[in-house]
Amino acid sequence: MHAARHFSQTYAEARQQFLDATAQAGLSVQSHVQPLPGHDGEELAMDVVLEGHCDAAGLLLLTSACHGVEGFCGSGVQIALLRDPGWHAAVRESTCAVLYVHALNPHGFSYWRRVTSEGVDLNRNWHDFRRPLPENPGYDALADAILPQTWPDPPEAAKRLADYASQHGERGLQTALSGGQYRHPDGIFFGGTSPTWSHRALRSVLRQHGTRCRRLAWIDLHTGLGPSGHGERIFACRNDALALARARMWWGPEVTSIYDGSSSSALLQGLMWQAVGWDCPQAEHTGIALEYGTQPMAEVISALRGDHWLHKNPAQGAPQRETIRRRMRDAFYTDTDGWKERIVEQAEEAARQALAGLVG
Ligand SMILES: [Zn+2]
């Protein structure tokens, strides 16, 4: 009941609630401060809390705000768990450790953007950048329609996107738009050309906390895809049949996969879970993205395009700026009690299933 109280209206409020809940649970926090001011001048940080023993054989990683503004959801989930005595009892009983990482991308969270301070989609930013980056010819063909000269977008731009969909299918358009691209730094779903601040900070967190466990479970909290309030459990490991079977055993047969087309997500490039293989190679990795629906995909994509247009064309009046910014938050955060209840309920279930799976 009353899940709404765990959710916030700003990044600063979310961070304060997280720090308060951590202290109340008797846990200590390690803050990786990002040396940039937040939207309202507040400090930005990736805050890390370990519950349980640092040498535990099973480690559950719970992360929020990979995509900045999506952190309103993930932060609420983390705070709800930290305030739940039943959850702490379950953690103790499991003998697993839980690592809460609050605000992987605090800059995007604070500014109500999906991307990092570098303009990068953190969940497309995991590559060996010495090697050639993936191509996305569909995005290249649509780049100037995705980010047109004027906003709201002219009818020609919308027609270009619609024509692409009729030629390549809706899934083809989705892949072109969201699969990840590495040539258009102003554009949407840009994966970057080097590791971002968040990428580097998370790797240091994993090297500190993730190198002694035998099994590592990861629930990465996202929003913006699928039916409103439904948490899709999207397999988030390398394309490995054993790992997928394990994920479906832990979280149910409804776990979807981007590799077999069962997910509402397209096949994506440069995903964050690869960090486990790089920094915690000793661990058997089982992970999902818990992806909660907010608004229809067309609205979410349009909000994102508007946000990127504004950052390319910042000299706009306050009403236009505020309309675009507010639309972004609404696209990735449904600020209603009913939605928040459903979010917390599904996340708590998934977190308990992960503990049970880790224990085996
Ligand atoms: Zn996301």
What domains are defined for the chain? Answer: 3-127+190-298+329-359 (3.40.630.10)
Helix (H) or strand (E) holding 341: helix 337-359
Q: What is the pLDDT of residue 123?
A: 98
Q: For residue 122, how far is its CA from the centre of ligand 1 (angstroms)?
A: 9
Q: For residue 51, how far is its CA from the centre of ligand 1 (angstroms)?
A: 25
Q: For residue 120, how far is its CA from the centre of ligand 1 (angstroms)?
A: 12
Within the chain, which residues score under 70 in pLDDT?
1
Q: For residue 66, how far is its CA from the centre of ligand 1 (angstroms)?
A: 6
Q: For residue 335, how far is its CA from the centre of ligand 1 (angstroms)?
A: 17
Q: For residue 20, how far is its CA from the centre of ligand 1 (angstroms)?
A: 25
Q: For residue 93, how far is its CA from the centre of ligand 1 (angstroms)?
A: 31
Q: Are 301 and 177 in contact (CB under 8 A)?
A: yes
Q: What is the pLDDT of residue 212?
A: 98
Q: What is the pLDDT of residue 1?
A: 54
Q: For residue 134, how far is its CA from the centre of ligand 1 (angstroms)?
A: 20
* Other CB atoms within 10 A of residue 345 CB: 14
Torsion of CA 177, 61, 82, 4, to 10 degrees: 10
Q: What is the pLDDT of residue 298?
A: 94
Q: For residue 60, how far is its CA from the centre of ligand 1 (angstroms)?
A: 19
Q: What is the pTM of this model?
A: 0.98
Q: For residue 331, how far is its CA from the centre of ligand 1 (angstroms)?
A: 11
Q: For residue 316, how far is its CA from the centre of ligand 1 (angstroms)?
A: 27
Q: For residue 283, how far is its CA from the centre of ligand 1 (angstroms)?
A: 24
Q: For residue 70, how far is its CA from the centre of ligand 1 (angstroms)?
A: 6
Q: For residue 294, how far is its CA from the centre of ligand 1 (angstroms)?
A: 12
Q: Output DSSP code: residue 61.
A: E
The three-state (H, E, C) secondary structure of 296-333, written as one string:
CHHHHHHHHHHHHHHHHCCCCCHHHHHHHHHHHHHHHC
Q: How far is CA 350 from CA 105, 240, 343, in A?
A: 23, 21, 11
Q: For residue 159, how far is its CA from the centre of ligand 1 (angstroms)?
A: 27
Q: For residue 224, how far is its CA from the centre of ligand 1 (angstroms)?
A: 7
Q: For residue 65, how far is its CA from the centre of ligand 1 (angstroms)?
A: 8
Q: For residue 257, how far is its CA from the centre of ligand 1 (angstroms)?
A: 15
Q: For residue 77, how far is its CA from the centre of ligand 1 (angstroms)?
A: 15
Q: For residue 100, how far is its CA from the centre of ligand 1 (angstroms)?
A: 17
Q: What is the pLDDT of residue 149?
A: 96
Q: For residue 43, how far is its CA from the centre of ligand 1 (angstroms)?
A: 23
Q: For residue 204, how far is its CA from the centre of ligand 1 (angstroms)?
A: 21
Exposure of 287 by Cβ count < 10 A (0-12 exposed, 13-18 middle, 19+ buried)? buried
Q: Output DSSP code: residue 66.
A: T
Q: For residue 300, how far is its CA from the centre of ligand 1 (angstroms)?
A: 11
Q: Output DSSP code: residue 36.
A: S
C-alpha neighbours within 13 Å on the C-beta side of residue 345 = 10
Collapsing DSSP to helix, strand or coil, 74 comes out as: helix
C-alpha neighbours within 13 Å on the C-beta side of residue 125 = 26
Q: For residue 56, how far is its CA from the centre of ligand 1 (angstroms)?
A: 29
Angle at 331 between CA 320 and CA 1, to 5 degrees: 130
* Other CB atoms within 10 A of residue 349 CB: 13
84 Cβ contact partners less than 8 Å away, ≥ 6 residues apart:
348
| First-to-final CA distance of the chain | 30
d(CA 164, CA 172): 8
Q: What is the pLDDT of residue 59?
A: 98
